[in-house]
């Protein structure tokens, strides 16, 4: 059966519809979740989309981390549910303290919008489903430079070019937790899911994610 997945909509989210379309194409059954929700419906995964939640005031993701829906999402992944944050969604996961480190302004000080090859690294639970191939994925961010905390990432996603376009530590484009219940990444796979976008690597990537969700 196709997995039921939720897509959180914050004020300022602008990739929620793109992600809905992409996840449908990837084989999931997506549902929108409003940021004021305090109880999740039956789901197998939750996605935090890209955009500018709450206008990115203070710092990207710094206000969204306090949204009412974050409490049930935290309970969800702590009980074994899968949560994935894309771009602003990744920033929210880090701001909430669920993933280590911080995401700061790009080293160039400029907003980056391009397509770049990426690849999994480390003992990733996603490797069976995504493999070690390169995925050419779009990026579009001003605050994507990863700075590590006390705990270094053990698995995740790296930019396959060096140095990273944003100056990210160890070319890091995304990371996950030990349990495989959290995964955050700066690239936008949902923006490479249709022939009109000129690239289908994102669809392959999300199909792998959906297979991973189904296997849990």
For residue 143, indicate whether it is catalytic. no
DSSP β-ladder status, 4-9 and 29-34: parallel
Q: Which pLDDT does position 157 carry in this prediction?
A: 97
Q: Given 95, 141, 143, 188, which residue is catalytic? A: 188
Q: Given 87, 95, 141, 143, which residue is catalytic? A: 87
Q: Which pLDDT does position 86 carry in this prediction?
A: 98
Segments of the chain with pLDDT less than 50: none
Q: Which pLDDT does position 59 carry in this prediction?
A: 84
For residue 179, indicate whether it is catalytic. no
Instruction: Report yes or no: 168 and 121 within 8 Å, Cβ to Cβ.
Output: no
Which residue in 11, 6, 17 sits closest to 39, CA to CA?
6
Alpha-carbon distances of 107 from 7, 14, 112, 145, rounded to whole Å: 30, 24, 10, 7
Which residue in 124, 204, 108 sits closest to 164, CA to CA?
108
Query: Which CATH number does the domain 4-215 belong to among 3.40.50.880, 3.50.50.60, 3.30.70.260, 1.10.10.10?
Result: 3.40.50.880
Instruction: Report yes or no: 166 and 110 within 8 Å, Cβ to Cβ.
Output: no
| Reported pTM | 0.96
Would you state the torsion angle of the CA atoms of residues 16, 22, 25, 31, taken in this order, to the nearest 10 degrees?
-20
Q: Which pLDDT does position 149 carry in this prediction?
A: 86
| All structural domains of the chain with their residue ranges | 4-215
């Amino acid at each position: 059966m196709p997995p039921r997945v939720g897509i959180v909509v914050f004020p300022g989210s602008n990739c929620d519809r793109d992600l809905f379309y992409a996840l449908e194409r990837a084989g999931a059954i997506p549902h929108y979740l409003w940021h004021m929700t305090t109880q999740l419906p039956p789901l197998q995964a939750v996605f935090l989309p890209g955009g500018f939640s709450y206008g990115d005031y203070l710092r990207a993701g710094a206000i969204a981390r306090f949204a009412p829906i974050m409490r049930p999402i935290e309970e969800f992944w702590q009980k074994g549910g899968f949560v994935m944050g894309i771009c602003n969604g990744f920033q929210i996961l880090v701001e909430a303290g669920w993933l280590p480190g911080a995401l700061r302004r790009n080293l160039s000080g400029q907003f980056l919008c391009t397509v770049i090859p990426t690849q999994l690294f480390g003992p990733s639970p996603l490797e069976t489903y995504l493999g070690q191939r390169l995925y050419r994925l779009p990026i579009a961010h001003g605050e994507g430079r990863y700075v590590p905390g006390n705990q270094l990432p053990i698995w995740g996603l790296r930019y396959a070019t060096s140095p990273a376009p944003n100056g990210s530590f160890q070319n890091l484009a995304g990371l996950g937790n030990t349990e495989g219940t959290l995964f955050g990444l700066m690239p936008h796979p949902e923006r490479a899911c249709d022939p009109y976008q000129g690239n289908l690597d994102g669809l392959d990537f999300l199909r792998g994610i959906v297979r991973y969700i189904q296997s849990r």
